[in-house]
Each structure stands twice: as C-alpha cells, then as structure tokens.
Structure 1
Amino acid sequence: MEWMIIAGVVLAAYLIGAVPTAVWVGKKFYGIDVRQHGSGNAGATNTFRVLGKKPGALVMAVDIFKGWAATSLAYLLVQWGAVTPDQLILFKIILGAVAVVGHIFPVYVGFKGGKGVATLMGMVLGVHLTAALICLGIFLVVLLITHYVSLSSMTAAVCFPLLLLLPSFRPEEPMLFVFAILIALMVIWTHRKNITRLLQGVESKIYLFGKK
C-alpha cells in the first residue's frame, strides 16, 4: 500500500513540475509560443526576453512555486505513514528532482520545456529555506550588477554547497550536501551554451529596472 501512495505522490510532483507556465502564459495572453522565439526555452528567462518583465516575473514566481509545492508533498507522505520522519529530507529531494524533470520535459506540451532553474530554486526553498533565501539574494545582486540571468543562476547554484560548508548552515544529513553539489553541476551543465556566449560577449542581457 505504501508504494502505491509514494508512486501517486511522485506522479503528482511530476505533473506539478510539468505545468508549462511560460508556454501557457505566452499563448493565452500574447498568442506567442516562447519556444519559437529567443533561446527557444520554455522558462522564465526566455519569457523575460520575449514577452517582457511582467509576464517574465509571473512565470518565474509560478515556476518557483511549482518546485516548492512538489517538494512539500513529502510532508503528506510522512502524514499518511508511507515514509518515516527520518526519510523526509530524502523524499523532499526526490520529489523536488522529479518536479525539475517535469519542468524540463513537460508532458502537457510535447516534453519540450525549460532549463528548470526557477523550479530548482523552489525545490531548494523547500529543502533548506535559509540557504535558499541567501542564494536568491545572491542571484538578484549578480543580476542587477551584470544583467546576465545565466551568470546569476550559476553563481547562486555554486554558492549553495559553499554555504552548507559553513557551521551555521551545515546540514545533519550528508545527502543534502551531495544534493547541493549535484545542483551546482547540473546548473552549470545546462548553461554550457550560455557560458560560451558569455565568453564571446554575445549573451543576452535582462534589465529589471529600465533598459539601456
């Protein structure tokens, strides 16, 4: 019985993560599929680039919420007795990872989604709130200074495991640190084309407050 509950919740996490916010917002309100413009990704960054600040902010907020909501489903597994309390962090990571996979490969729109950074941020908020808020602050500061979302995302991702090395942030569960390292590596890997464009000086910029 427990495995059926776990399987159902894992499926729910995927379906939550797979909600194609950028695609639906673009098509519903602008008649545009953002995957056919800009970088071709169905994520917040490309929505900012193609549709503007307000829809971009909306997509980013919803995508972050998706990651947090899917990760928080782990509490239901504990409440329903499908997993033990000491397995909570493990299942938060599993469910959050499934949601990120859902964002990257969304069933609703032909499995062509975004890079999953905003959903990943929501997942981290659900797993380690304090460190996640600091990383979010780092993301915003780097974005305001450089105007590069890709560089901001990678910087924040790399800072996450570094924060967990500090005594005040060090987790009791070693798997959380491993998870943080994997996040940093994944974000860098998914942004490898952006790294090339950054080095070539042709990466697109996004201005939160005004544009040059």
Structure 2
Amino acid sequence: MNIIILLLAYLLGSIPSGVWIGKLFYQKDICNYGSGNTGTTNTFRVLGKKAGIVVLLADVLKGTLATSLPLLFHSDMPILWGGIAAIIGHTFPIFAKFKGGKAVATSAGMLLAYSPLFFVYAASIFVICLLITSMVSLSSMIAAVVVTISTIILPYIWPTILPEFNWVLTLVAAAVSCFIFYRHKDNIVRIKNGTENKVPFGLNKKK
C-alpha cells in the first residue's frame, strides 16, 4: 500500500499545471519561454498574473493532497513522505518529459498539510523576504533555510506554531532546502552578477 501511495503522490506532483494551462488557454508551451521551467514563477513571467495565480494554487494544492494521501488511505507511513514524492514529481514530472519546476510551491503545500499554522509562518517569511529583495529565487532560498532552522527552535520558543520537535520534519526540510538551492544554481549566478529577474514591487523592485 505504501508503494501505491508514493506512486500516486509522485503522479500528483507530476501534473505540470503551467504547461497544461499554457497549451490549453494560451496556445503556448512555457517550456519554450523564459527560464523554461514549468513552475509558478515562469508561468507568471510568460502567461501573466491570472495564469500564475492558478498555477500557484494548483502546485500548492497538489503538494497538500499528496502529503495527505497516507491519512486518506489510513497508512502508518509518515505523511511527509507523500510530500517528498510530490516534490520529486513536480521537479521531474513524467507528464512533461521530466522537466519541471523548482518545488517551492509544492513544498509549501506539503507544509500546509503537515501544519497550517507552520505553513502561514513559512509563507510570511517568504513574503517578507520578497518585499525586501524583490527576487523570488533569493526569497525562496532564504525562506527554505529559515524554515529548516525553525523546525528545530520553534517548538521551544513558539510552540503555538510548532508544538513539538519532529526530526523527520527537520530532515525533510533540510533535504528540500538543499534541493531548492540546487534547482536555483543558475539563479545564484545571476544574483551574484546582479542580473537576476525581479518582481515589480518591493524595496529592490525592477526599474
């Protein structure tokens, strides 16, 4: 049963929302534009705000649903493993020639299923970073690191948000953080060179 759950979670994560919406409603394959990624950021860049919001919600929700599968199937498997399978699916989707996104939104969906309050906390960190840096890539990496550290310290300083320490959560958060940094390796080069794409708002917005 656990293998079936992980397979279903991977398939959910593999749904290339940006690609399907682009082809169906805009007659565009976003893999051929912008960064070539199938995720939320490139969808915003290529297809616009409406499509970007839809893809963002879809990518978050597929992470949430995949993470919840062990509960839905009454399995004793830790729910976070379903989230990991979805993240792998989102990054290497079987439905899009294994060329996917950078797993930020799907990772957020995993947190939403695990702890809604912790999800709000993590999302707030990302938004604050985005308002300061005006860069989605840098905000994603900073938030990933802060969230990983928070899984260790929050149970002791702010238990309302995260009541107890869970080593599985910390391990998963650390692994996802490394994964996010790896997927943003090209962005890191552009950040160093001062050529990274910026959103049109925030303290460091594009001019």
TM-score by length of 2: 0.89
Structure 1, 193-202 or 167-176: larger mean CA deviation? 167-176
Q: Which runs of 4+ in 1 moved over 3 A?
A: 208-212
1:128 aligns with 2:124: no
Partner of 1:73: 69
**Which secondary structure does the structure 2 equivalent of 1:73 belong to?**
helix
Distance 2:35 2:2 in 1: 36
Deviates more, 1:5-14 or 1:28-37: 5-14
Q: 2:31 aligns with which of 11, 35, 47?
A: 35
- The answer on whether the counterparts of 2:198 and 2:206 sit within 8 Å (CA) in structure 1 is no
Task: Quote the residue 2:94 is aligned against.
Answer: 107
Q: Distance in 1 between matches of 2:181 and 2:196?
A: 15
Q: TM-score, normalised by structure 1?
A: 0.87
Question: Which string of whole-angstrom CA distances, capped at 9 and with x for unpartnered residues, describes residues 4-44 of structure 1?
Answer: x2222222111111111000111111111111011110000
**SS of the residue 2:200 aligns to:** coil
Partner deviation per Cα, 1:146-166 (whole Å, 9 max, x = no partner): 221101111111111222212
The correspondence of residues 1-212 of structure 1 with structure 2, limited to 5 A, is 5-78=1-74, 82-83=75-76, 87=77, 90=78, 92-164=79-151, 165-166=153-154, 167=156, 168=159, 169=162, 171-207=164-200, 212=207
Identity %: 41
- Once residues 66 and 207 of structure 1 are traced to their aligned partners in structure 2, the CA distance between those partners, rounded to angstroms, is 28
Aligned residue pair count: 199
Checking the alignment, whether the CA contact within 8 Å between 1:49 and 1:206 is kept in structure 2 is no
Deviates more, 1:114-123 or 1:62-71: 114-123
Residue type of the partner of 2:178? Answer: L
Instruction: Give the CA RMSD over aligned residues.
Output: 1.9
Report SS of the residue matched to 2:73.
helix
User: Structure 2: which 5+ residue stretches go unaligned?
Assistant: none
CA distance in 1, matches of 2:120, 2:113: 11
Shift of 1:208: 6.0
In structure 1, runs of 5+ residues without a counterpart are none
One-letter code of the match for 2:86?
A
Q: Give, in whole Å, the separation in 2 of the partners of 1:161 and 1:107.
A: 28
Q: CA deviation at 1:109?
A: 2.1
Instruction: Tell me the secondary structure at the aligned position of residue 38 of structure 2.
Output: coil
Residue-by-residue CA offset, 1:35-68 (whole Å, 9 max, x unaligned): 1011110000011111111111111111000100
